[in-house]
Amino acid sequence: MFHGVDAEERKRIESGYPWAVKAHRGGELVALMGDPIERLSLITTGSVRAEVIEPQGVLIIETLETGALLAGPVLFAANARFPVQLRAVQDCAFASLPRSDALRLLSKHPAVLENILREGGEKILFLAEKIRLIHFASMREKVAGHFLKLSKQQGRSEIRLTYTLETLAELFGVTRPALSRCLAKMVDDGTLVRLPGKSRYRVSPSRLERIIDGS
């Protein structure tokens, strides 16, 4: 929310608006799916997990870390309600503003407005990719489908992951250890080549396509 905001502007934002602070213990429910959203809420400490309850169990959508907003852009929907339930992963705290004060803040501080719009856009892209990968049956197919997309977007066979492994695991709907094992196996069998540097791989688009096709 405050990325790129200079110290003086941030100080004005912190002191010039009626922020309220609320804390939750780890494991507590922060909000239920369908609860009304009436405030712009920012995580100041700790982390929160966005979940959807299904007959088969709990589907983790994403984990929100310190600095993230709680359904920020949804606040301005006609019928603003939480689309997921939120649970504190660890002890956490939030600073929040009523909707009217949030609108006043955004109108006076374009950098904050741009950050919120950017976050909303990135969430849409993340969820769109999560939906696209649903039809892939196995984790190996999901990895192949996502890495193939990155190769096409980045225009080369040497790709850099655009998410952390934790976020990538949430994208695939799997645990971080399971994803790490899958990636290690794909490196061992030559499907992927791990490159020096952080989160960099060399891929063969034709080989990834064969995995997706089940051949």
CA 65, CA 63: separation in Å to the nearest integer? Answer: 6
Other C-beta atoms lying within 10 Å of the C-beta of residue 211: 20
* Cut 0.85: pTM above it: no
Domains in the chain, ordered, with CATH?
7-132 (2.60.120.10), 136-213 (1.10.10.10)
pLDDT of residue 134: 86
Residue 185's pLDDT is: 94
pLDDT tens, per residue, the chain with 215 residues: 888 888 888 898 989 999 999 999 999 999 999 999 999 999 999 999 998 887 777 778 888 999 999 888 899 889 999 989 999 999 999 999 999 999 999 999 999 999 999 988 988 898 899 889 988 989 999 999 999 999 999 999 999 998 888 889 988 988 889 999 999 999 999 999 999 988 899 999 999 999 998 75
The tally of CA atoms less than 13 A away on the side-chain side of residue 47 is 6
Tell me, what's the pLDDT at 215? 59
Q: Are 69 and 116 in contact (CB under 8 A)?
A: yes
pLDDT of residue 162: 87
Taking the C-alpha atoms of residue 94 and residue 79, their distance in angstroms, rounded to an integer, is 22
- What integer pLDDT is reported at residue 198 of this predicted model? 80
> What is the pLDDT at residue 155?
93
